[in-house]
Every structure is written in C-alpha cells, then in structure tokens.
Amino acid sequence: MCSPLTDLDRHLAEAAARFGTPAYVYATDVVEERLAHLRAHLGRWFAVSFAVKSNPNPALLGWMRDRLDYLDISSGGELALGREAGWDAARISFTGPAKREAELRAAIEAGLGELVLESLREARLADAVAAEMGRVQPVLVRLAPARVPKGFGDQMAGRPSPFGVDVEDAAEILPQIAALPNLRIIGLHIYSGTQCLKPEAICENWRIFMQVFRDTCAALDLRPEKLIFGAGLGIPYHPGDSALDLAAIAAEIGPELDAFRAEPRLADARLVLELGRYLVGPAGWFVTRVLSVKQSRGTRIAICDGGLNDNLAASGNFGMVLRRNYVMHRVGGDEDGTRPEEKQDISGPLCTSIDKLGGGVALPRLEEGDLIAIHACGAYGPTASPLHFISHPMPAEVLLTGGQMQDVTRIRDR
C-alpha cells in the first residue's frame, strides 16, 4: 500500500509529465472532504457560499454546482464564468465596491439572486437600472463594523475602507436605500476580516456580526430573509501553522447562534457562510520544475520554471507583511536517503530579485529536472498573479477527481 505522500507524488508527477510545468493541480476529493467537515461542524446553522474570486476556474465551478448552496461573484466577468459553469443566477450574489453600470445591468437582467450593495451611490445606480427593466431587485446591504478582532490576516473594516457602509453611517444611509422603489432589502452582509486561524477570534467576530445584524434589523424594522457571515476561516500556509479547529468554534459560538436564530425578528433568516480559500486552498498544489541549480556565496539556489508571475501569493507578494515560506516538498522525497536534506533557496525565472518562492527551505538536495510541489495553492493562484510579466508560458491547470486528470487550463498563451 502506497503512503498518502507517495500517491500524491504519483499524481503530481503524472500531471507534470502530461500537461507540463509550471502547473496547478486541484484535487476535488480534498474539496469534498473539506466541505463535509465544514457542514459536519457548522452546517446546523449555515448554508455555504463560495467566493469565486478565490478560484474562478470554470471546471471547478462546474464541479461545485450541485455541491454548494450559493456562489458569490465580484465582477461581471465572474458572473459570466458562473453562468457558463451552469449556475442558476438566482443562486448567485454579487459583491464588490466598484460595480459598473454594465455589470449591474447584466446581473439584474440575468435574474441575480442578491445584489450586495456597498454604497448609496451603487444603490441609486442599481435602482435606476432595475427601473428601466421594470424589475424590483433583491439586495443585501453590506455593513462595515467598527471593530475587527486581532488575529485576521487582512481586515476590511474597523478603519477607512472601500467595502460596505460604515455602521456609524448606517442610520443615515440605509433608510435612503430602503426608500428606493426598485430595490428590496432582503438582508445584510458582513465580511470584515479574512485568513484567521484562531477560533476565539472567529467567534468574537461573529458576535460582532450578530449584534450589528440585530441593531440594524431593528432600526429598519426588517425581518431578514438572508444574513451573510463573511467566514474569515483561514488555512495553514506556513511550517508550524495549525489547522483551524471548527469543533472548537462550534462548541463556543453554537449556543449563541441558536439563541440568535430563535429571536422572532430573525427566525426566518437563512444564515450563510461566505468563504473561498478554506475550501479550495489546501486542495491545490503548484508544481514547478528546477531548470538550473547554482551555488552563490555559500547558498544553493534552485531556479525554477515558475515563479511569482505564476504564483504571486507563494512568493510573499500578495498581502504578506513578513515573507514566510509556504510548505513545500520535492516530488519523490529523499529517494530512500540518497538525497540528504539541506537548506536551499527556491527562485523563479524572472529578472527581479523578488521572484523568490522560498528562502532557506529544508528539502532533499535539489538537482536540475526535479519537481517541487508548493502546498495550499488552490486559492489565489493564476488569476491573482502577474501572468504576463516577462511573457513566460502560462501555467497549466489540472483537475484531479478520483484519480482521473483533465486539463482545465483557463488562461492560455496567445
């Protein structure tokens, strides 16, 4: 019986041989396991919405269609991707702080489930578009709380932010939105922080959400149909990171969620977790091949065919304050001890010093032709990277389902 690592390496090596490198490999079996784990611990309270921005690959979106409850988009382009993947527009919500009139028109015309309003300006524009079509568009109003607990990798509230209506201004702005005749407020939305690995911080954040939802619904005399909890659930990227304990979250916040749902005004609301990287991040690997190895002033450097142009996040240039290595391994391991482990730098092919995928990484001694697999790369991969910088070949994308592979590359060389 092969070990899990051996099975993984066999798949990664096959993907590299068949489709070339650099390549992203997405394992839907892992996504399915993570979704089952999520539903087992939090499904009692929440439906699940997938944030397309985290991985907009059409084949992956199509695979998700009958497995998740909702899809959240942030552009007209993502709306088109979701629709092409077979998603009913009624199951799609649309967030984003700079929606264009043409995007609003396409979404409303398609029968969008909910438009998530981020400002009064956007509400007025959407109302005018809906009026032209003779429609009343269901909307959620995004709110920005005054505080975000410590422990989130990125904060989108609690300070000046382009996202949502500040809670301090809600009493003035929300009644104006509610008065627009071609919009119907059916609920509220908060996404104030992301990439959190601390259960206590997640729970504290959701407590803030619940109080904001209570206060706002009371002020508007609103009985919401839907309340969106921006999940903020993080994933371990770096050596030493621990996976988020969903059981601990459920045990701590569960009684409060039960009480929240029992309140008469909120009893008919569907609570929805909006998330992305939590589901797909650990289900993806970035595979790159070593093109050259050199010694430079006492450091061994492996130079690979994929770098920050293909994987900006792994290079540490996608919102990371202090650069830390992602977990990675040599495909094939140490070959029964014949490859002694040593610290090596991992660089990409670009003519810039920031094209570095790892510094001082302890790996079996790398040689030309070896494959390196970087973990936790199923989210914010190709579409979050400067693919055209220096015009190297585009990375392949491979969908792995039940041991079967298919080329699902979305962005190809011209």
Report, as residue numbers or ranges, the catalytic residues.
351
Enumerate the β-bridge partners of residue 374: 286, 328
Looking at the DSSP bridge assignments, the partners of residue 392 are none
User: One-letter amino acid identity for 241?
Assistant: D
Decide if 152 contacts 194 (C-beta within 8 A).
yes
Q: Which amino acid is at 132?
A: E
Amino acid present at 178:
A
CA distance 9 to 243: 22
- 55's tokens: 């991985």
For residues 31 and 28, what is the distance between their CA atoms, to the nearest angstrom? 5
DSSP string, 189-229: EE--EEEE--HHHHHHHHHHHHHHHHHHHHHHT---SEEEE
Residues 195, 234: Cα–Cα separation, whole Å: 4
- Tell me whether strands 341-347 and 396-401 are parallel, antiparallel or unpaired: unpaired
H and E: helices and strands count for the chain: 10, 20
Contact 78/47 with Cβ under 8 angstroms?
no
CB 139 within 8 A of CB 183: yes
388-400 burial: b if 16+ Cβ within 10 Å, else e: ebeebbbbbbbbb
Q: Which residues, in sequence order, are bridge partners of residue 287?
A: 23, 373
Burial zone of 243 (CB within 10 Å; 0-12 exposed, 13-18 middle, 19+ buried): exposed
Which amino acid is residue 371, in one-letter code?
A: L
The Cα angle at residue 387 between residues 384 and 391, in degrees rounded to 5: 170
